[in-house]
Structure 1
């Protein structure tokens, strides 16, 4: 393991995401919570949070971190088919970053979804696992904050997009 003993303890955060490409039938079943194995979206959230907390047990030479927060979100696509966005955000006060915890959380959440949905859709694909942002430590914010965009013209009602449908379970405490 890399010696991080001389690094300062700072607040750090990271978010990672991946995509789970699914068919229209599976997406309908997910929206209606009618999968044969049960509530896959809640199981994915729990699996991702547990995986983020146990990253050091899975990745050799990864420092164990006392996470302050591990939150997994699953966003369903607006249309009849497409790709779910599986994201994991973690926060910690430590000497080293939490990118690996965020990546592991997102990946395992997607794997849990895959496992619970494979009887319905054998053509699912998990793609595009990546860190989307991180903060804290010597390198600061990544990606760097962008300059503010100029104000856009008001969209007409026909142009407005409702955006992705974000699954938020009930009776599930966020850590």
Structure 2
């Protein structure tokens, strides 16, 4: 990884990186994050007892939609044709739901931000749908798990030591 920042021009002003000379390659990114809540909130999600509807189904669609809209929300992101977005849920059957998003493309730039935005939006949608009964939910541990493709190659998250 380089220490050189790429989103600044020769006047040290923001710019969108020119990717026109980069090769089209298959690119994948996986991100994850968690939302912690009261045990009774998670039970109500599992039992379909949240008045706004099926929390995980709505959150899943929201995450997919967010990935597709990344370039409209994050100023220096390129508009990328996504070839796949998949959101998965797991939980500890107590207080925490873990969300993971896998995003794929065949393009000239990566999809890390799309995966991270998908996770964040999925988690925020869970919060939104459950906030009437649990405003103390905590969104945490959002990070890139893995990315592959492109000039920088493969990356796998390592816990900070």
TM-score for both structures, normalised by structure 1: 0.79
Q: Which runs of 5+ in 2 are unaligned?
A: 1-15
Number of aligned positions between the proteins: 142
User: Which secondary structure state, in structure 2, belongs to the residue aligned with residue 116 of structure 1?
Assistant: helix
CA RMSD of aligned residues (A): 1.1
1:134 lines up with 2:147 in the alignment: yes
Q: Deviations over 1:33-87 (max 9, x none)?
A: 1111110100000000000000000000110100000111121213xx2221011
Partner of 1:9: 24
> In the alignment, what sits opposite 2:52?
37
Q: Does the alignment pair 1:72 with 2:87?
A: yes
Give distance in 1, aligned partners of 2:80 and 2:25: 12
Matched, 1:111 2:135: no
Tell whether 2:26 aligns with 1:26.
no
Match of 1:50 among 65, 76, 90: 65
Following TM superposition, where does structure 1 have runs of at least 4 consecutive aligned residues deviating by more than 3 angstroms?
A: none
> Where do 5+ consecutive residues of structure 1 fail to align?
145-175
Aligned partner of residue 120 in structure 2, secondary structure: helix
